[in-house]
Chains A and B, each alone.
Chain A
Amino acid sequence: MISKRYVEISNLVKSYPNPFGDDFRVVENLNINMFQGEFISLIGHSGCGKSTVLTMLAGLNEISEGGIIVDNKEIDGAGPDRAVVFQAPCLMPWFNAYENVMLGVENVYPHATKQERHEIVEYSLARVGLADSMKKFPKELSGGMQQRVGIARAIALKPKVLLLDEPFGRLDSLTRMELQDVILDIVAQEKLTSMIVTHDVDEAVFMSDRVIMMTNGPLARIGEVMSLHWERPRNRAEILTDPLFFEYREHLLSFLEQRAHLKSHLHDVEDNRQFTNENLLKFSF
């Protein structure tokens, strides 16, 4: 039976202490429920706190208020049940592709035999199309191939939730499309519950079941939710010609533009302190 509330984010708040006043709240009272196997996109302007939400779900960022429940268990710190694919591939340059994937496998399957571990690593690398480059070091791999290793490392952990933090942000559009297909393929087969943070409207529309549009931070919250009802597996050519695609796209873009306008408007009225902080945050993202 598919759980309707496989991932439950409730009243999530992220605030940073401000030594000269009230705490600086980046994310305010955020609620998201994901059912098992769902693919959700978080989209919003830079600095709106969408990455913050994802890293809190990953356990890499402390939760200030509220809580996150994954598969009926409240999360406490990072763990291999919530694998992350980072924006930079984050491979260990002193390990080759195989060893990079093995690093996690060794730890997550302590009771597996050597042979079993070897098979898991090989399978994961083959899954992302790197069967021939297992012994190559990161510096010998292109950016796209490095990111494939990053994906293989994540799926080798057999996670419950796959978290993608702008995973294609640094890739060219052709590689990006290839990797999108790779991820959709894996997610469909493994029935992974996934969350992707992205800037790319097309990517969000093509990949997800629901797009969550976030308002601008500070005090970021959900602006709008859009559900997309295409069947899976999805065919890129079909979807790109579907008139609905353009409708969805248009809707998302207008939301973002509206927010951009709001943002510049807000700049004029709110007090200075907050804006300095916001700008700082914007630059650091």
Chain B
Amino acid sequence: MANPTKDKIKYSILKVIDVSGFKVLDPPVRLLFKEEPQKQIRDISRYMLLPIVFVFACLAAWTVLGPNHKTKSGEVPTPTRVWDAWKDSYRFHEKESEKEQAFMTTGEDRGAEVEKIEALIQKQEGEYAALEADSQSIAAQAKEKMESEIAPIKAEYDELKALSFSQKKERKSAEEALAQKVANKTAEPQQLVTLIKENGIKSESEKEELKLIKTKIDLIRSNPPKEVKAAQLAANKLADEIQHSKKRIDYLTSGNREVKGDTLLAKAADASTQLNTTTDGGEAYKQAKSLVSNTEKAEKTKGQQYPRSASIVWQTYRSLITVIIGFSLACLVAIPLGIMCGLNRIVMACLTPIISIFRPVSPVVWLLIFQIIIGAFFPDPEKHPLFLFLNDQANPLSYFQTNPAMIFSACTVAVCALWPALVNTALGVSSIDPDHLNVAKVLRLGFWSRLFKIIIPSSLPLVFAGLRISLGVGWMVLIAAEALSSSDGLGKFVWDEYQNGSSQSFANIIVACFVVGIIGFFLDRVMIVLQRLVSFDESASL
């Protein structure tokens, strides 16, 4: 029954699950190894299936309730629309990568690539024609159906209109006749006034009726069936893909950086031969200048990077790097300061007013302050050596396109993430077990070995608990800071979507909301795992 190697595997898997904090996965693994199956199944249904059902119930409620709420940016998008928006955003990212790759491809590869894409275009165009025809036929059918629906209403409308017209005419002649009578003093003027009033009400109500029918027709016209829209959308999407493939070919041929560079070099060579043969002084001057400028341009062009448009994936990477920079800054300041605070009551007393006053300050205020302070360091960011170095084409960090906005967003993150780490480190250091300090006294440990062998190890669990809170705070602050400072990242993505207000915007904002949430969750997980790895205390969990 008992199989030692199998048990060993089982327990090592369970240990990994335990350390990573995904306790939910514990029963399924035990079930796989056939350990008390009934208990595991009960646990799975309680702690895994029920939560899944609950999440699906929430999604269902969202699907049902969302479209009922009409807003200025359209109705609240359903989960499926949000998912589509995510796919579109991701496809946009892929397209950028493909274009970049095309732009950078050199030599022989280009020809092969062009052929491949041309074949693809041919295929896509065939598909497009079919789709387009399909969509048109669907549209025609829908139109026919619509017309057939409209026809009886229209007939009714026409009939009513004609009737109303003739009646109006009749009423007018009656009024005129009565007016004549009033003039002849054979009728009372009051009678005429009453008649005109009555007739006015009548024609008004006829008008209303006509209007009602007209809106009915309009409503049918303006709401073509869903399949028409879907077919149209599919066709448009494919058209976009074809456009994209053509653009790729463009980047492989005339738009390619090598080709562009070679063209410039050819021009330079041409100028050089002309320079050698010319006899005219002015001409020689002109050719020499052209030679120099074209050679320079060619060099620049060959090293050029593809100007990527900001996709959600890139924005996510940039947010991540910004939060990592900010968080590292916070750690660099908070941990040494926290240790000093915990060790020395005077330092603690000195820092307490600063901590108490600055901790509650809103991130927005910090952002503005840093914007001013950091801005002063980089009066001309384009030419500042730091950014020239970071955004140099040879530097892999140039992918993130560092700019002052990123730096002051990172500083805002750092200042807001500083406090939990600082306070927890100080607490961890000051709450060290006095028995351990007694041991250190008996052993006559020096300051440094006491610090590194006793104080820091014993305070690590609390330090990491603080760092975990800090990272969470930093990530939340960052999104707000990016939205406000227009530093590229998820925050800016949300802000841009809010400002641009296309039909897709609302769905995109919700996509960003999920991306931020999921990344925040994983950052937290990473910190939990680190915390559990450093903590000698077995009970430290969550």
Contacts and interface: CB of A to CB of B under 8 A. Distances in A.
Contacts of A104: 442-443
Interface in B527-542: 536-538
Interface stretch (B226-234, B451-459, B469-477): B451-459
B280 to A, nearest CB: 85
Interface string B423-449: 000000000000110110111111001
B453 A92 contact: yes
Contacts of A77: 441
Given A78-B444, A157-B443, A93 B537 contact: yes
A86 B449 CA distance: 21
A139 B436 CA distance: 16
B442 A94 contact: no
Contacts of A95: 453
Interface residues of B, number: 19
A107 B536 contact: no
Nearest to B445: A107
Contacts of A82: 442
Given A94-B457, A103-B453, A108 B537 contact: no
Interface residues of A, number: 25
Contacts of B442: 58-60, 78-80, 82-84, 104
Contacts of A157: 443
Contacts of A60: 438, 441-442
B457 A107 contact: no
A139 B539 CA distance: 12
Interface in A67-107: 77-80, 82-84, 86, 88, 90, 92-95, 103-104, 106-107
Contacts of A86: 435, 438-439
A94 B441 contact: no
A80 B443 contact: yes
Nearest to B460: A94
A33 B59 CA distance: 82
B370 to A, nearest CB: 38
Nearest to B534: A94
A107 B449 contact: yes
B538 A139 contact: yes
Interface string A140-167: 0000000000000000010000000000
Contact of B441 (A78, A103, A106, A139): A78
B435 A90 contact: yes
Contacts of B444: 78-80, 107-108
Given A103-B443, A107-B444, A107-B445, A90 B453 contact: no
Contact of B435 (A88, A94, A106): A88
A104 to B, nearest CB: 4
Interface in B139-158: none
B147 to A, nearest CB: 82
Interface of B: 435-436, 438-439, 441-446, 449, 453-454, 457-458, 460, 536-538
16 contacts: A59-B441, A78-B444, A84-B442, A86-B435, A88-B435, A90-B436, A90-B438, A92-B454, A92-B457, A93-B537, A94-B460, A103-B445, A104-B443, A107-B443, A137-B536, A157-B443
Q: Please provide the 3 A-B residue pairs with the shortest distance between their CB atoms, ordered closest to farther.
A: A93-B536, A78-B441, A94-B457
Given A86-B435, A86-B439, 19 more contacts: A58-B442, A59-B441, A59-B442, A60-B442, A77-B441, A79-B444, A83-B442, A90-B435, A92-B454, A92-B457, A94-B536, A103-B443, A104-B442, A107-B443, A107-B444, A107-B446, A137-B536, A139-B536, A139-B538
